[in-house]
Amino acid sequence: MKLHIFNPEHDIALAANLSNYTAPHVGRQLRSELGFIPALWADDGDFVLVDDVPAAVEHIRHVRKYAADVLFVTLDDLTQFAGFTPGELIVCPWGWDRSLARQLKNAGIPDKLLPTDNHIETIRLLSNRSWAAKTLLPSLVQLSHKMVGKAVYYTSIDMLAQAIGRDFNCVLKAPWSSSGRGIRYIHSEENWQRNITWIKNVIARQEGIMCEPYYNKVKDFGMEFESDGTQVRYVGLSVFKTVNGAYTGSVVATEEAKLEMLTHFVSSDLLEWVKEEICNRLSSNFCRIYQGPFGIDMMIVRGQKEDDFMLHPCVELNLRRTMGHVALSFNATDEDPQRLMRIVYDGRYHLKISDTNENVINNSLI
């Protein structure tokens, strides 16, 4: 059996790196109101941790046909798991961080079911944007002249300012951040000056900052994977929409339909090379360190000519479950219409799955 936990505040908890961490209101509200969604990828008989069991039962009613037959539990119920062994129960959060591990331990989950402090620190270091930028991105870009991508980690504002010079067409990112937060687009001297305080704060709190060229993006997408401790397995494509870097929705469609959306711009061979290289490179030391789902965000960008497109194969590595994994859990078939999975806010957060009669390949939905 498994105990599933939706902790969407995970990325900012990694940045804080505190055992006793209180997430911002938005993160706490997301976790409270969408805590039921692990039922979409869980197995029958698994447990899902929620804040309010009756509320979770009501919320899941809207997606019941996609969900497993799970048992919702609260923190107060976790004392019943004190006698379980790792062979009997596996704890499966959205992502591991110090705050979640302490919360579960305080609620009664035994140490033998939780990762060690050293293991969590390793996950945190691998989740830093600089790790993928140094370790994975260069090898992927070398696969083809149709690839593009560069990201550099700076530990002082003076080093960053010297590197940028008078070229203000760049993107700055905090090493750890969540859903578009922690990103600034620098396009002028004035814009640089307005963000100096933010830049200094990021470097002070996270010991560095990422700088990337600004690319003329055409489409966001990602590849989703899973590590079982022995090898990395490719799970599927994620085609999604962002606004100012923040996630707004995912396409729910067959792999063939999603691939068609992308091969309008880049070849399927190019995508296959990237997938194989990621699986091969990460099925060694990385695989032994991290077990669980993860995703790599990518994008298609415009080249020097109007009809020339390039692939950025590693915008960031998300060492956790992603909304792309959630969309894949709906198991789309050829008979299903293309659908959109969105998180909608109307004072409360809702998971919405809506059919679209339009062909999302050729409209602005993605």
Distances, alpha carbon 233 to alpha carbons 223, 228, 283, 338, 354, in Å: 11, 8, 9, 25, 29
Strands 292-302 and 309-318: antiparallel
3-class DSSP state for residue 323? helix
The pLDDT value recorded for residue 245 is 65
In this structure, how many other beta carbons lie within 10 angstroms of the beta carbon of residue 130?
A: 20
Cβ count within 10 A of residue 336? 14
pLDDT at 178: 74
Contact present, 241 and 350 (Cβ < 8 Å): no
- Enter the tokens of residue 169: 């067409």
For residue 357, the model assigns a pLDDT of 53
What 3-state DSSP class applies to 77? helix
User: What Rg do the C-alpha atoms of the chain give, in angstroms?
Assistant: 21
Joined together, the tokens standing for residue 261 give 């959306």
Tell me the C-alpha distance between 7 and 196, whole Å. Answer: 31
pTM of this structure: 0.92
pLDDT tens sequence for the chain (366 residues): 999 999 999 999 999 999 999 999 999 999 999 999 999 999 999 999 999 999 999 999 888 889 999 999 999 999 999 888 888 999 999 999 999 999 999 999 999 999 999 999 999 999 999 999 999 999 999 999 999 999 999 999 999 999 998 778 999 999 998 766 799 999 999 999 999 999 999 999 999 999 999 999 999 999 999 999 899 999 999 998 877 667 778 999 999 999 999 999 999 999 999 999 999 999 888 888 899 999 999 999 998 877 899 999 999 999 999 999 999 999 888 888 888 999 988 999 999 988 765 444 444 433
